Chains A and B, each alone.
Chain A
Amino acid sequence: MATVELKDVRKVYGGKVEAVKGVSIDIPDGQMCVLVGPSGCGKSTLLRMIAGLEEITDGTVSIGGQVVNTFGPAERDIAMVFQNYALYPHMKVYDNMAYGLRNRGTPKDEIDRRVREAAGILGLEDFLERKPRELSGGQRQRVAMGRAIVRKPKAFLFDEPLSNLDAKLRGQMRIEIKSLQRSLGVTSVYVTHDQVEAMTLADTLVVMNSGVAEQIDTPLAIYEKPASVFVAGFIGSPAMNLLAGEIAENGRGVKLVGGAYLKPRDTVLPEVGRSVLLGVRPEHLTLVSDANNADFQLKVTTVETLGADTLAHGHPVDGDPKSSELIVRLSGDVQVRHGDVLPLAIDAGKAHMFDAGTGKRI
């Protein structure tokens, strides 16, 4: 077990394409760090550089305080769980798990002990003599985990390990991975494009976009104080409403593109005239009974009934239907129909301001 530290890590392909543009992350011992971002943001490349599968163009990767840039994957003492599991198709489950230990010259009885121990943890005891193709998706996933566990490595690396499972199994495995990582206390780096996975698994969450770490913090902090428009839009489902406008005079709040005014409460506004993006999460808009307490009136255009929640899509009655479109999350028992006008209030202190030019939080 060890810390994992990245310092200004860069990756340039063929001297031209910069896939990772200087990322620094410190992962304390025993913690789980999740890299999340859209496909092509460089998160997998970063993980593969930690694994030693990809050369590091610039910067350093340290595991347990030691710079490992020049080490091969085997010398780094890490274990990896791959997206497609990468189980050796011709080997039994037992041999799949034992292979890495054998290559390290671990004594036979020690290998046997560790494989059986891992199989016990993962509930694979009955499948040790089977070949991967005789297993279900979830079982294969467990074998891939087992292969990582038996090695007792300094760090676990997960490369979108759940993306090939169906939704139900994914939820279940997510919990298993979390509790397993906790109980083993192994420092982990986990790559995913699924924000639910990211939020639930991470001790430290890294949101990546075009090769840059946009924000590194705890999941909750990122949810509550997204550092940029990108992070605000990426984390949270449905995504945060982002409305373009500029700060109006006379303390009237934000004048939206298209005409409507919005004044969030308990929010410090920047200087008058500045172009901003006003961000409000759908769940931070509340239906009020008294129209006088409302911050604005929403004209509903589409309704999605989810059961527990109801999502209403629409725009401020005096706003532009396109540029000021937003979503509200309402309780499932509220009856809303297309064409309704809803009086809405923005929860106190829950509005976010971003600079329209840089996209940074104000």
Chain B
Amino acid sequence: MSARVTFPNKILPYALILPQLVIVGIFFYWPASQALYQSVLREDPFGLRTTFVGLANFRHVLTQPSYINSLQTTAVFSIAVAFIAMSVALLLAVMADKVIKGKGFYRTMMIWPYAVAPAIAGMVWLFMFNPTMGTFAYMLRSAGYAWDPLLKGDQAMILIIAAAAWKQISYNFLFFVAGLQAIPKTLIEAAAIDGAGETKRFWTIVFPLLAPTTFFLLVINTTYAFFDTFGIIHAVTGGGPGKATETLVYKVYHDGFVNLILGDSAAQSVILMVMVIALTAIQFRYVEKKVHYG
């Protein structure tokens, strides 16, 4: 009959939703619109005059070698983090699906790094690998390897990738375990009767059926690598050495907050905004699909 049963009050709902709207308005929409606005303006060096420059800031940003570098860094970083964090988690989840005893123990032991702040994860890894007193740095050097992530860009990159991936394993593990549990056991039994061995079963039955989970995690891990790892980079490398670990988000912060280049920073913000919108759209399309599959 009638759709949703509701209360007849007319004013009360506004009062209920107001707090959230006020916060959203002041801290989200106003600043976001300012970012959009400033992305088409340029300030002179003394901040006395601003002029409308259209898309000039975007052109400027997108042709900057440092921005291109930062794009590449972000791509390398994100792909590596997503790939490592997901494959390690998948391996562990598949193993956890096999064992009979100790499932709960393994899960508890795997999930808690989720609660470690990314920045702390970074600092802990740096502490283990830092050239002056890190035990692992000491071991690497004893083995004759010239290890110094504070001076060598590629090593710095490896370090932050390791820290970022390490922290994300728990999250991926949980979702892969849930995904594996959702696969009907009869399918796997049928494959076993059809003569498929364990490895073959995994690649021909389990992995394809896990695709929705994998895809979902890919989006989430990319978002994580883009945004949530700011703390790691800020705390561990500060974007350095050189600009070897300067990701897009770090650059927005650095240009806007440290170098105070308003127009460029705003333009970068807007570009990031477009990326977030794309990622969110992909994520929600996925959710819709999942609904269709039941």
Chain A nearest CB, measured from B10 CB (Å): 13
The reply to whether A53 and B1 contact each other, CB–CB distance below 8 Å, is no
Question: Interface on chain B toward A: helix, strand, loop, or mixed SS?
Answer: loop
The reply to whether B5 and A44 contact each other, CB–CB distance below 8 Å, is no
> Is B2 an interface position by the 8 A CB rule?
yes
Chain B nearest CB, measured from A32 CB (Å): 23
> Is A54 an interface position by the 8 A CB rule?
yes
The reply to whether B5 and A45 contact each other, CB–CB distance below 8 Å, is no
Out of A13, A40, A53, name the residue touching B5 (CB < 8 Å). A53
Q: Which of A32-49 contact B (CB under 8 A)?
A: 40, 44-45
How far, in angstroms, from A54 to B5 measured CA to CA in the complex?
A: 9
Chain A nearest CB, measured from B210 CB (Å): 34
Interface string of B2-45 (1 = CB under 8 A from A): 10010010000000000000000000000000000000000000
Interface size on A, residues (CB 8 A): 8
Interface string of A300-326 (1 = CB under 8 A from B): 000000000000000000000000000
With CB as the reference atom, state the residue of chain A lying closest to B7. A72
List of B residues within 8 angstroms of A72 by Cβ: 8
List of B residues within 8 angstroms of A54 by Cβ: 2
Interface string of A10-46 (1 = CB under 8 A from B): 0001000000000000000000000000001000110
With CB as the reference atom, state the residue of chain B lying closest to A14. B2
Interface string of A41-78 (1 = CB under 8 A from B): 00011000000011100000000000000001000000
List of B residues within 8 angstroms of A53 by Cβ: 5
List of A residues within 8 angstroms of B2 by Cβ: 13, 54
Chain A nearest CB, measured from B4 CB (Å): 13
Interface string of B222-237 (1 = CB under 8 A from A): 0000000000000000
Chain B nearest CB, measured from A196 CB (Å): 24
List of B residues within 8 angstroms of A55 by Cβ: 8
List of B residues within 8 angstroms of A45 by Cβ: 1
With CB as the reference atom, state the residue of chain B lying closest to A54. B2
Chain A nearest CB, measured from B7 CB (Å): 10
Interface string of B203-241 (1 = CB under 8 A from A): 000000000000000000000000000000000000000
How far, in angstroms, from A54 to B2 measured CA to CA in the complex?
A: 10
How far, in angstroms, from A282 to B60 measured CA to CA in the complex?
A: 90
List of B residues within 8 angstroms of A40 by Cβ: 1
How far, in angstroms, from A13 to B2 measured CA to CA in the complex?
A: 9
8 A-B residue pairs with CB within 8 Å: A13-B2, A40-B1, A44-B1, A45-B1, A53-B5, A54-B2, A55-B8, A72-B8
Which 8 A-B pairs have CB atoms at the shortest separation, nearest pair first? A44-B1, A45-B1, A13-B2, A54-B2, A53-B5, A55-B8, A40-B1, A72-B8
- Given contacts A40-B1, A55-B8, could you give 6 more A-B pairs where the C-beta distance is less than 8 Å? A13-B2, A44-B1, A45-B1, A53-B5, A54-B2, A72-B8
